[in-house]
Amino acid sequence: MPSRTKLFSLLTMTAVMGIVCTLILSSGPLKYRAQEQFDTSYITTYTVNENGETFVSQEIEITNLAQDVLATTFSLTIRQISIYDISGSDTAGPLDIEVKRDASEGGKTTLNLHLNEKVIGEGRSNKIRLEYKTEDLANKVGQVWNINLPKTPSPESLSSYEVILTTPKSLGPLIFMSPSPASKEETDGLTTYFFDQSSLDKSISATFGINQILNFELYYELMNTRFIPVRQEIALPPDIAEQQQVFYESIDPAPGKIYRDLDGNLLAQYWLRPYQKIEIQVKGWTKLFGRQINPEMGGPMHEIPDALITRYTGEDKYWEVNNPRIRNLANELFDPKKNVTENAYEVYKYVVENLEYDIDGIDSEHFDRHGALKALTQDLPWACMEFSDLFIALTRAMGIPARELNGFAIPQSEVLTPVPVGMDNSDILHSWAEFYDPNFAWVPVDPAWGSTSGMDYFTKLDTNHLAFVRKGLSSERPYPAGTYRLDIDGKQVNVDFAQDQKDFDPKINIQKTFTWNPIQLLRGNRAYIVEHLSGPVLYRINGGTTLLPFDKKTIYLPADTNTLIYENFRGVAEELKIDKN
């Protein structure tokens, strides 16, 4: 080996799921960065089978840019995923691979590939092929398959980088994928997605299936500590257009009234006698849907409805919109040439890149909420609430309506998508946010999980977020399920995956009643009392009234009809066959 051959270290890949590659060259003085001595290119192929096992193949080409460098060992470190069936080769044959496993740092595997062919000379290349398998990249969660691939390397560290993802069609239809592939190919039973370096600005994540269905059983405790009767209320999981539809099976005991507030929350009211304590059980299931947006297709700022600007851009306790620090940063991030969603993304990106998540606080018994201003001005690790609060305050300061969602989120990983315990010893809850774009309506985002996972939680939200309440008019109310607690022991929130598709058809009772309304009689309509026994909310029945769970209303129907027309949570008309007594 020539004595003038030099040693260089080349960092070629880093990932949230932890792939770090290092090229080790023969000994000698270190004078230049390795990136200046080599061109390195990758083609990584992920082939997912119908059981979720993923075969990974990496083709790595390292081209010398100088005469006096020589590669001898290639080192690869993979974090937070377990790999097996490891093999590799270069142009001279199979490679000797040293495997070191370390359980620390969430688990990591280091592979040292001792190269057979010693390539020296400008323009000459080492070509390496590495193969292994893992079961940690594709996971079925309920009715939905989630695929999360390692974060791609930084562009400056490689001359080229491509990713190929092949999935079986048996996983179900694509719900969303981010980033968008450069192209795709359909073959019999398989779909292959191609990503080039220009489209790989973040980790690749994809979700397949139709929808996610979760069963829920919620408990609430109310107490009247006064000597006079009082009215109290609880928040029920609401419908959210394009995101979640709720089937209400039972509420025991039945409330005196259920109504919707301006944020779209469902609130159930109870009258409590002096010093009375009641325990309430709510059972049902929900269907969660995925939606992906293209920020370039967002609407202009001037098309945001004035009513939403008035209602959802003001200041509140944890959203210090009028503070000069908040205002100044919002002005710096705002670009009048960009649309609503593009400006909201600048806020999301700032929060994700500048706030640190408090991983060590996940198991804490109590969280104090600090709000947007402290999250901005104090260099501390924060919980999901502060990520949401800062996003909301900054977008509101831009003039973009924003509000908070609290609910139950199902983590895919304790490290990548952590969920802390709730405030005041309540059940495990999560906080995320949403903003309004005139072309997309309300768009949910999760800056906390975007920060911890490195994945895209802006253009799409996964089907693992079940909202219990929306907070827009107030940063504190209504309280979500899991926080109506008198006894600190015992779970109040029980959520699990449904094993099959659930029935979402409403169950109603309809009975004829007498009417003195002459206009309805002249139209040939008859009056009926409709009672909601179980099921989803029925919106705009025959173009008019909305029937909430377990409510009763008088409606008018043509005397000769046996069909009830209503709109579902997406505003789509549906028919219900009825038997009128």
Q: What is the pLDDT of residues 313-330, one digit of tens each?
A: 999 999 999 999 999 999
Q: Bigger pLDDT: 14 or 394?
A: 394
Other residues' Cβ atoms within 10 Å of the Cβ of residue 110: 16
Please determine, for residue 177, whether its predicted confidence score (pLDDT) is greater than 80: yes
424 pLDDT tier (thresholds 50, 70, 90):
very low
Percent of the chain residues topping a pLDDT of 90: 52
Please determine, for residue 487, whether its predicted confidence score (pLDDT) is greater than 80: no
Q: Bigger pLDDT: 421 or 39?
A: 39
Give the CA-trace dihedral at 294, 44, 173, 215, to 10 degrees.
Answer: -90
As a whole number, mean pLDDT of residues 195-215 equals: 84
Please determine, for residue 21, whether its predicted confidence score (pLDDT) is greater than 70: no
As a whole number, mean pLDDT of residues 421-440 equals: 78
As a whole number, mean pLDDT of residues 459-486 equals: 92
The percent helix, strand, coil of the chain (3-state, each to 5) is 15, 45, 40
In angstroms, the CA 123 to CA 64 distance is: 5
Q: Give how far Cα 172 sits from Cα of 176, 190, 211, 360, Å.
A: 12, 11, 10, 37
pLDDT on residue 479: 94
- In the block, residue with structure tokens 């909201």: 344
Q: Are 311 and 401 in contact (CB under 8 A)?
A: yes
Q: Bigger pLDDT: 202 or 313?
A: 313
19 pLDDT tier (thresholds 50, 70, 90):
very low
Q: Are 405 and 434 in contact (CB under 8 A)?
A: yes
13 pLDDT tier (thresholds 50, 70, 90):
very low
Q: Are 288 and 214 in contact (CB under 8 A)?
A: yes
As a whole number, mean pLDDT of residues 417-432 equals: 63
As a whole number, mean pLDDT of residues 46-61 equals: 94
pLDDT on residue 8: 33
CB hemisphere CA count around 518 (13 angstroms): 0
Please determine, for residue 130, whether its predicted confidence score (pLDDT) is greater than 50: yes
Q: What are the extents of the domains in the chain?
A: 9-208, 212-288, 295-492, 507-577
pLDDT on residue 343: 98
* Least confident interval from 11-25, 269-283, 340-354: 11-25
Q: Are 233 and 224 in contact (CB under 8 A)?
A: no
Beta partners for residue 10, in sequence order: 23
Amino acid letter for position 60: I
Distance of CA 302 to the CA centre of its chain: 28
In angstroms, the CA 253 to CA 259 distance is: 16
Bridge pairing between strands 160-168 and 38-48? parallel
Please determine, for residue 403, whether its predicted confidence score (pLDDT) is greater than 50: yes
* Least confident interval from 32-46, 224-238, 472-486, 537-551: 32-46
Give the CA-trace dihedral at 297, 301, 306, 310, to 10 degrees.
Answer: 110
Name the burial class of residue 323, with classes exposed (0-12), middle (13-18) and buried (19+) by CB atoms within 10 angstroms of its CB.
middle
pLDDT on residue 451: 87
| 502-507, Cβ contacts within 8 angstroms, sequence gap of 24 or more | 502/213, 502/247, 502/285, 502/287, 503/247, 504/245, 504/247, 504/287, 504/535, 504/536, 505/535, 505/576, 506/532, 506/534, 506/535, 506/536, 506/538, 506/576, 507/532, 507/533, 507/534, 507/535
* Least confident interval from 257-266, 483-492, 542-551: 483-492
* Least confident interval from 118-122, 308-312, 481-485, 577-581: 577-581
The class level of CATH for 295-492 reads: alpha beta
pLDDT on residue 59: 93
Q: Helix, strand, or coil here: 494?
A: strand
pLDDT on residue 520: 76
pLDDT on residue 243: 92
578 pLDDT tier (thresholds 50, 70, 90):
confident
Question: Quick one: CA dihedral 484, 489, 492, 493, positive or negative?
Answer: positive
pLDDT on residue 2: 34
* Least confident interval from 17-26, 73-82, 166-175, 391-400: 17-26
pLDDT on residue 581: 62
CATH architecture of structural domain 9-208: Sandwich (2.60)
Amino acid letter for position 113: L
Please determine, for residue 28, whether its predicted confidence score (pLDDT) is greater than 50: no
45 pLDDT tier (thresholds 50, 70, 90):
very high
Please determine, for residue 414, whether its predicted confidence score (pLDDT) is greater than 70: no
Beta partners for residue 246, in sequence order: 286
In angstroms, the CA 574 to CA 578 distance is: 13
pLDDT on residue 12: 31
Beta partners for residue 247, in sequence order: 285
pLDDT on residue 562: 82
389 pLDDT tier (thresholds 50, 70, 90):
very high
Average pLDDT, the chain: 85
Distance of CA 219 to the CA centre of its chain: 25
Please determine, for residue 388, whether its predicted confidence score (pLDDT) is greater than 80: yes
